[in-house]
């Protein structure tokens, strides 16, 4: 069985997109893993239900996640609620922040708690410039969630 990783992101400046793409690269480097890298408006409930692991990537705007990432949650929550495919679904977060990223991260984690997802990794938070070190962390996060989901660890 192929393991499916869904990466949902929004990006205006391109920073969060770079982070999401690096996580996708990392996940794709693991054998028998299929990655779905989707902009938040394009991600659907079906994508969420069919994936084995989820990465949410958002810039921080005014201490909050991007509105289009919130929209993804708003569009899927009601129908996803109570479905066995959602319960304890492993997830991780990427944040591109001008500040410290804690506002966006806290809101995303609170919503994921409502879905009953399972946080499996520390978030990658880029404060300011998205440099090589941040991108390496994103790639490692992608590899880790993919390998863990494929092996049934999460």
Element (H, E) at 98: none
pLDDT at 152 over 90: yes
Predicted confidence (pLDDT) per residue in 92-139, tens digit: 999 999 889 999 999 999 999 999 999 999 999 999 889 999 999 999
Predicted confidence (pLDDT) per residue in 11-35, tens digit: 999 999 999 999 999 999 999 999 9
CA distances from 38 to 53, 55, 131 (A): 14, 10, 22
Q: Which tokens in the block code for residue 36?
A: 């779905």
In the CATH scheme, what is the code of domain 3-150?
A: 3.40.50.360
Predicted confidence (pLDDT) per residue in 51-101, tens digit: 999 999 999 999 999 999 999 999 999 999 889 998 999 999 999 998 899
Which regions of the chain does DSSP assign to beta strands (E)?
A: 3-9, 33-39, 53-61, 64-65, 90-97, 118-119, 124-127
- pLDDT score, position 147: 98
Q: Tell me the backbone φ, ψ of residue 132, rounded to 5 degrees.
A: -60, -40
Q: Which tokens in the block code for residue 143?
A: 């590899």
The residue ranges of every structural domain in the chain are 3-150
C-alpha closest to that of 88 among 46, 59, 117, 127: 117
- pLDDT score, position 82: 87
């Amino acid at each position: 069985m192929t393991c499916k990783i869904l990466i949902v992101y929004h990006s205006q400046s391109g920073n969060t997109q770079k982070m999401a793409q690096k996580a996708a690269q990392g996940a794709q480097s693991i054998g028998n893993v299929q990655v779905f890298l989707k902009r938040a408006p394009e991600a659907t409930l079906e994508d969420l239900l069919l994936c084995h692991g989820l990465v949410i990537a958002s810039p921080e705007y005014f201490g909050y996640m991007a509105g289009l990432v919130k929209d993804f949650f708003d569009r899927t929550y009601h129908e996803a609620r109570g479905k066995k495919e959602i319960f304890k679904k492993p997830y991780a977060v990427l944040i591109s922040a001008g500040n410290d990223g804690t506002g966006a991260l806290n809101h995303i984690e609170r919503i994921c708690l409502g879905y009953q997802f399972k946080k499996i990794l520390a978030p990658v938070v880029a404060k300011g410039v998205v440099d090589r070190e941040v991108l390496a962390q994103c790639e490692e996060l992608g590899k880790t969630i993919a390998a863990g989901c494929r092996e049934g660890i999460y």
